[in-house]
Structure 1
Amino acid sequence: KNPALPQLDDIATIVYTSGSTGKPKGVLHSFRTMIVITSGMEEIWGFSSSERMLSYLPLAHVAERAAVETMSLYFGFHIFFSEGLETFQKDLQRAQPTIFFSVPRLWTKFYLGVNEKLPPKKQKLLFNIPILNKIVKKKVLTQLGMNHVRVALTGSAPLPPQIIEWYRSLGLELLDVYGMSENFAYSHACKPNEVRVGYVGSVNPGVEHRIADNGEIQVKSPAQMLGYYKMPDKMAEEMTDDGYFKTGDRGEIDEKGRLRITGRVKELFKTSKGKYVAPVPIENKLNNHPKVEVVCVTGSGEPQPFALFMLSLDAVKELEKGEIDKDTLTQEITDLLKSVNSTLEDHEVLDYVVIVKDQWTMENGFLTPTMKIKRNIIEDRYLKNGEKWVALKQKVIWE
């Protein structure tokens, strides 16, 4: 006997949130959600069965559930799977993707990696020579494995404008997307030729958005969740009476309906002077050193905020081998701190930077599957040392 076909509003899947702000929640989605997002993406980007994608995030994450599982089943994509971050570059070369979604940490890593091999001054010189311009840019994209990419997507966290502009100069327009587990990543997207740097784009087909009085972004999506698994009361907390989801993000909408994320509603922290600090804009300014992979600005209850820097694994190995001079790196970070502080309000000025000794990973709980920092975990680990670090009166502290 053939099983009965499911109804559109039957539960199709459970997607767990990343847990960046607390315990992960199981989000219930229907079969209708799957249909909504595929038709919407077809309208925006015109995907077809000839596309190629590289899958590398955990398959349980909403980005993979939406882009890899649902979209590939609908369109018949060719999907390649990465063996791990250590083989990522080879996997890209093998896949030759036409659609590539990456998180800001990896876009930044590619950018800094190219800058180390081909310094910005030399790039500028080569890009300004007409006969070499296209050849050099194509070579850079080919080495990255992105010379066939026609839709390049970024999401999950802000990407510094100078990095977006750099990729644009290579002929690769990064299209920001915005969504969450609760709407199956179907909310906002930058459309080709409508990009405004710093904005995550306009609403997807069928989506409505607004900014609440407290600055919070609220979204009503046709891919909205059915509820939370075994948490019936939680749904009422997260939704408005008229059906909008409270995203927890702060933002603003421009005259063309494009959305800009300005931080988290609950991400602001207060210093001991009673001043509120928004960490994300400061982190974006600091995230511009080739040896620094992750930045976290914190300082709740401290006189002034401070920053935690996690060096890349390559940089750690180079330090151990003596290939990098520690004093030189300390001075470079001191200069970066001074430069960034000159752009901040008095209450935002960073007192010091701490170079942490541990690598933050998904495995040890410091990062989400999309490599976003878990602030609560990081603050539990490091904030207790604030008084000791202040007493050192150093601008750069090695843990």
Structure 2
Amino acid sequence: MSKRSPNRPPSNRQVWILGAGFSQPLGGPLFEHVFSNAYLQLAESVARRECTSDQLRSLKVSTWRAATTVYAEGRKSGFWQNAEQFLQVANDALGDFENSPYRDVLGKWCDAAFRRNNLASLGSKFSDIDRSILSGENLDTPRIVKVVIDHRYMLQYILYGARELLAVQVSIFLFRTESLISKSERWRPFKHWMRQIRNGDAIVSFNYDEAVEYLARQVVSPNFLHCLLPDENPETGRPLLLKLHGSAGWETTRGSGEAQVTASNSHLSFLQSTEKQPFILAPGPEKFEKTFKSIIRDSSEGVIRNADEVHVIGYRFPETDMFAQELILSSLRSNTKNPRVTLVLGPDNSNPARKRAKALLESAAPGRVRVAEAYSQDYLLSYEARHRRAVSRTDFNEVFPRK
């Protein structure tokens, strides 16, 4: 176990809010990059290695290709610009498909994707649970003789494939992680940061990947962080990891609605089954009001309300996720400690996303928001030194000048 730094008092609660920009220096993709042909090829190489049979691999890859086809059509038409927007639009349409204005066009794209990727001919290879999903029948009903596919169930199946594909693509950089963490220079700032985390601290992550979990296990100890699952209560005595968008490392049973979410036993274990799917959620109210249990939402609000300092690393407050934005800003407004808030979105002060994020944070913490002119890895590597010296505005600006 690595030596822990004793500099910070235990009562000084630090909260870290992480977005995709946190994982990007380690090789994690941004949402604009996933579902591309290049990332699809990477995912297919993972399937060739991880799927337990050629039949299972063929089904997985065909579904992923269909999801990529629909994604490409929607992006070309301006319906969405990245993976999260795709999940949001498709998920909303699926919720009330008959009345959705997207019904006909999504149905047309799904039908073409199924035909192009030969999914209809794979009907005989579907497991019973896949047959029930596609036909809309109950498994207890003995009338399932053939797969009856309509556009709604095509879209539902493509969404299953999209979540799987997204989980694989955001996790590719974590393969062979044990050797990477111990040897690669790019992990050094993140290892340093993990050693500074204390009991009472919390990490609120909007990332699907498991980079934080891998760091904790390799750098400190396997049980160092409590990664809160939707049906658990927070533990005292361990730092909290709160994943508001779900995780590639969580799984549930397909077609089970409000089934229990569990941590998978192995990396991307859903690749060995057609019954399991990664627990990945689209932006919007669903994750707070329906599928996602309120305990993670409430815990996230609580740690931000009680923070002594808040660090926003690589999170740009995307326009598609207004519920998460309101959670963060309202919790900051309710914090009576008046914490300092540091925003880290790279050194480019002309970046519109950074300007917008700063303005949003200023609305909740006026006069207390500082922008670090640094990339995520720079800020994390200097965190200990910055914490010792940044006791005033002058000291802080000596380390990261304010723009």
* TM-score, normalisation: structure 1: 0.31
More helix by share: 2
Structure with higher strand content: 1
Q: Which has the higher contact order (CA 8 A, sep 6+)?
A: 2
* TM-score normalised by L of structure 2: 0.30
